[in-house]
Chains A and B, each alone.
Chain A
Amino acid sequence: MTGHEHSQVEVHHKEGFIRKYIFSTDHKTIAKQYLITGIIWGFIGMILSWFMRLQLAYPNQPIPLLEKILGGWAEGGILKPEFYTALITMHGTIMVFFLLTAGLSGTFSNYLIPLQIGARDMAFPVLNMLSYWVFFAASVVMLISFFVQTGPAGAGWTMYPPLSALKNAVPGSGFGTTLWLISMALFIVSSLLGALNYITTTLNYRTKGMSMGRLPITVWGMFVTAILGLLSFPVLLAGAVMLIFDREFGTSFFVPSGLVLGGQPVPHEGGNPILWQHLFWFLGHPEVYIVLLPAVSIVGEVLATNSRKPLFAYKICVGAIIGIGALSMIVWGHHMYVSGMNPILGEIFVVTTLAISFPTAILIFNYLVTVWRGSLRFTPGMLFALGFLGLFIPGALTGAFLATAPVDIQLHDTYFVVAHFHFTMATAAAFGMFAGVYHWFPKMFGRMMNDKLGKIHFWGTFIGVYLIFFPMFFQGIAGVPRRYYSFTEYNFTSQFIGLNKFITIAAFIAGAAQFIFLFNFFWSMFKGPKADKNPWKANTLEWQADSPPPHGNWGPELPVVYRGPYEYSVPGAEEDYIPQTASIKVEAK
């Protein structure tokens, strides 16, 4: 429990540039590598969405600039439909996996777990380094797929076969999909290495006095996330390998007999396309919570610290996180109500899906009570944490429509779904990530980020997100299907031309606000005012270490923990916070 092998002082020799910044085994450096790679992917994903929005706002209107940027993909300035399907595929893949899984978990699990439990590093530092570099390899392969002749994968981030299994079903299903599958296989290996490390470290490397009941909510969130990843990612890995076999070696896991594609018979026989959907969503739904739980737990930590109040009902919150994690493994079928799956199975998934609203509602209510009668301090991190609540609430409530199977018949694969998941997991998780970056930046880089720019970034993003995605609920209710290259073909979709232009403008404004963040991030890294050890007057252990903490994190002695992480504004205490390392007794009045 206490990590005896760490209790002796470790002397760290001066390291060369490569050992220190590139092939580092220091969990803090690896976290920064994940963060910066994640930010790069985030910007790539965002710019892809700009191209999509341009096409939806101005269908069939030549935009000469597009041809200059995209070349053959936008001949005459008009985006090709096959490139549009590649855009939706890559936007989804990049945002869900590379930004909000690797970028979010990779950054904050790596950075916070050892620091918040009082360890000197991860349990397996070399494995940790390997995890980043395998992720880096996955990133390189995914990036290369943009430059192959037939373009990147184009069957949607869900990769449903036969569209993804037959190489000429869509141009992106050629070499682009092969690279997509290889990249995802590498990505999953990287996630598994990370998850093993996070779980082992949390269980075995807690410092003296840091019982499981005293772990900050962030560590609980990352811990449950790691368990979810470890249980569900291998299933997608198996699916990806089977799909590679179907594509390259003539097996038929997912392709049935008797298909005729473009007038040519397909040689496969005996497979079932719905099998892939089960395998995919068995990861795919826990994945939503792999993205969400780190964000939700970061938000809990930031809310408590900046409300100067204990996290309301800490134990119930931890229970809710565990409950969400457990239930998330048995709800995947709600993505498949109209897939041709057995309808009785559908009804069962309705019940499990509605059940997951129980822990979720508890968690959000507890967060609201945490804010209630606090003494709120509006740092940019706090604003993003509050913004998270503001986005997550409509996201979670609209889940009730989609969970109800008969209503899902109408709403499935429409913009209602697009709006729903962008609120619940996409932008909400991004807000959690922003909250984390603003909150822990002083610890990571030893400097403060600019407060004013942070606030402008927040309001630009928050209002922008609402203007982009809220109208999409109404479009979806009206039946507008998602993944459409243009809405000019149907009467029931072409009524929204004006609204689509509005959404596109909002997307460009919200996107532009991200460049304020980019500037603030890199400028503050070098020019920001120096941060002291504990700028937010927070209780958790990392704020007792130097800013930034040295390799090995602590001085000669490991910190000792005497209390829980959320003793804010305790009546009778001198200050409104009591660090976990303080051994004083407080007499409540």
Chain B
Amino acid sequence: MSQNQSKFHGLLFLFFFILGSIASVWVVLRNGWWLPELASDRETIDKIFVTIFIIAGILFVLSELALSYFIFKYAGDARRKAFYLPGTTKKEILWSILPGVLVVMILEISAEFLGGASIWGKIHGEPPKDAFLVEITGEQFAWSIRYPGPDGKFGKVDPKLISYDNPLGIDMSDEASKDDIVFPAGEGVLYLPLNHPVVLLIRSKDVIHSPFIPNFRVKQDAVPGMVTRTWFVPKKEGEYELACAELCGLGHYRMKSLVVVKPMEEVQEWLSQQTPAGDIYW
């Protein structure tokens, strides 16, 4: 193969990665980090994300440029013999292990010490006692929503009681059930108070679903047979979208719910206008 042809491939690699790096940087400068606008208290997730983004971005550009520079620079030449470097001396072995150590240290630092472990612990820890409770139940292909009513307690549910009229199978013999406010699948809105901790209890009636609110950095699988839980504080008033993130069947792509964040008083007022379960079911 001729020398020119060799250089051609090196140039192409260089050209591709330089162009690619510029395009990626431009895309980030123009659109920011591409994360949906943050509307909850989970800013630590964004902080860790951005830190890893910057570190990984630098490592990406450096290593791809090094690779394409080597390809360009060391293209085959009959007059030049390759540099014999078996990597068997102690020094060379140290050099080969060092980058691994560095990468792991950088990653561990960014993942754990910037608050990764503590936000993980917070999300899965005990929510504040006065938190606003709401339950969301997935079924193919919509979400049912239930509020506990003035007593702050959800009534018992029993799947055997599920019927067309009682979609969640609420046990009306339980005193706590009477003031629950129930929205059957697809008919409800997730009304959440601003700047107040919200506990989301998550259930599923059939297969695995996963409520995902991109603006809140919230995602937690809805596992049939279990109640999973997550909690957060909505920080911005407005309307948001809740999607399903776990494949649940042919309607997975349209399993949508609306999330509305309003000041606490407005949420309470809205709740007081709804009909409690005791007046509908018996």
Contacts and interface: CB of A to CB of B under 8 A. Distances in A.
A291 to B, nearest CB: 22
A103 interface: no
A371 B74 contact: yes
Contacts of B217: 409-410
Interface of A: 80-82, 84-85, 88, 154-156, 160, 162-163, 166, 169-171, 255-263, 265-266, 271-274, 307-316, 320, 338-340, 343, 346-347, 350-351, 354-355, 357-362, 364-366, 368-369, 371-378, 383, 386, 389-390, 393-394, 397-398, 400-401, 403-407, 409-410, 412-414, 455, 459, 462-463, 466, 470, 474, 477-479, 481, 483-487, 489-493, 566, 568-571, 576
Contacts of A273: 208, 223-225
Contact of A386 (B67, B95, B107): B67
15 contacts: A155-B247, A258-B224, A273-B224, A312-B92, A314-B86, A361-B102, A362-B97, A368-B67, A369-B87, A373-B74, A378-B9, A474-B31, A483-B253, A484-B253, A485-B252
Interface stretch (B171-179, B237-245, B269-277): B237-245
Given A393-B60, A400-B111, A492-B241, A365 B99 contact: yes
Contacts of B84: 309-310, 568-571
Interface in B180-224: 205-208, 210, 212, 214, 217-221, 223-224
Contacts, number: 342
A580 B212 CA distance: 57
Interface string B226-249: 101000000000000101111111
A380 to B, nearest CB: 10
B18 interface: no
B111 A162 contact: no
Given A347-B120, A397-B59, A404-B116, A376 B86 contact: no
Contact of B252 (A80, A393, A401, A483): A483
B182 to A, nearest CB: 15
Contacts of B266: none
* A-B pairs, 8 with minimum CB distance: A256-B225, A258-B159, A313-B87, A479-B214, A343-B124, A373-B83, A362-B100, A484-B253
A170 B164 CA distance: 21
Contact of A481 (B13, B96, B243): B243
A312 B86 contact: yes
Interface string B63-90: 1101110110011110011111111100
Given A262-B140, A386-B71, A410 B208 contact: no
B253 to A, nearest CB: 4
B29 interface: no
B83 A481 contact: no
A566 B124 CA distance: 52
Contacts of B117: 347, 350
Contacts of B112: 350
Given A373-B85, A410-B219, A259 B70 contact: no
Contacts of B256: 489-490
